[in-house]
Amino acid sequence: MKTPLFNLLWISIACVLSLSSCSDNSSSLSSQHTTYPSHARLFNYQRDSLYTYVNVFLPQDTSHVFRTYLLHGEGKSPQVGKDTIAVQVPLIDIGCAHCTQIGFIKALGEIEKISCIGDIELLEKKSILAGREDLGEFFNGWTFDIERLISLSPDAVFFTPYGNEDIYSIEKSVRTPLLLDMSAWESHPLARSEWIKFVALFMDKTHVADSIFASIESKYNTIKKAASHHRDHIVVISQLPYEGVWYIPSGGSYKGILFSDASLCYPWEEEKGTGSLTVDYEKMLSIAPTADVWFIESGLNAVPTLSTLIEQNPLYRHFRPYKNNTIYICNTENVLYFEDGILEPHLILEDYVNLSRGVKDYTPHYYFPIQYE
């Protein structure tokens, strides 16, 4: 995983997108009933007799609508304002910039409608789209290739902004609507999963998404409740260092919340930020030797083994998880951590709960014991 890059992008979006003007559409939609998600905080929607209005918010300011999508049927041409984009639904020809959006669309039973993606090289090895020779690509590196996107001309592109894009310029250059999927900016695992409802609005599959999410929510809360009965004191650490620095999740982040809901003791649980923390070797070495379990995500680079860990730093021998063989790896070469994990937080939580406690005969879903070599 490119964890440091991802963390830096999380920091940069607040700086870049805050320069874009935001408009409050509440005056024009004040007469409409607003449907709010149960957990997600960065979108909501409203309906009237003619249209559905889907509102998207920026993570640093949820008091103002950043973008509104006016959903309409075939043959209608509604007039829209500057920060409102008309989208004809249901979508037939779809572009997906990132793996998580593929997961949402797959769960809704519409995978055949994906005609293009950002970059085939960024697909997970076991992706449902792997091997599809008819897929178009519209990224050049990590940015949009405007000419390619114009040529492909999908009905819309689901896209998660990470802060290095000029969204307004892209929108002015192409007729294809960019549908801003902000799921990655949600902190709670269930909030991220709930963005399936956002995607479903563009496919007229709201009831399907509601049913899928209700099942996820129920399973997650059942596992969380069961974990809360444990009275053990299991200390968990996360990740590997990058160029001498650990980029670890804050207590209020996605993984921090998962650790808490698994009833694990996370040394940084009091750090309630939603992003990541930077910890140097000295600080980590004062904590890690007494940790009980160590969870690591990997895949884009060489997957760590016990042997390569010691090659990287012999001090890992002093870590209790190394001594007790309680290091677990999520290898995205073997599991669909991004494509499926977005809708399976209950299975990730189940791994944390059971692997950290050494439950006998447990079959993992995403995290597996580290190999010796």
Across 216-228, average pLDDT: 98
- Give me the helices (H) in 72-183, please: 99-107, 146-152, 167-173
Instruction: Verify cis geometry, omega within 30 degrees of 0, for the bond prior to 304.
Output: no
125 has a pLDDT exceeding 80: yes
CB count in 10 Å sphere of residue 133: 5
Q: Which residues contact residue 120 at a Cβ distance below 8 angstroms, ignoring those fewer than 6 apart?
A: 135, 137
**pLDDT mean across residues, the chain:** 90
User: Measured between alpha carbons, how far is 322 from 317 in angstroms, rounded to an integer?
Assistant: 6
- Cβ(13)–Cβ(163) below 8 Å: yes
Assess contact for 217 and 190: CB atoms under 8 A: yes
Q: What is the pLDDT of residue 301?
A: 67
The per-residue pLDDT for 163 is 74
CATH topology assigned to domain 226-369: Rossmann fold (3.40.50)
What band does 183 get if pLDDT is binned at 50, 70 and 90? very high
Confidence of residue 28 (pLDDT cuts 50, 70, 90): very low
What is the mean predicted confidence (pLDDT) over 158-184?
A: 91
pLDDT of 31 strictly over 80: no
For residues 264 and 320, is the Cβ–Cβ distance under 8 A? no
Query: Which tens digits make up the pLDDT trace of 336-345?
Result: 999 999 999 9
Locate the domains of the chain by residue range: 226-369
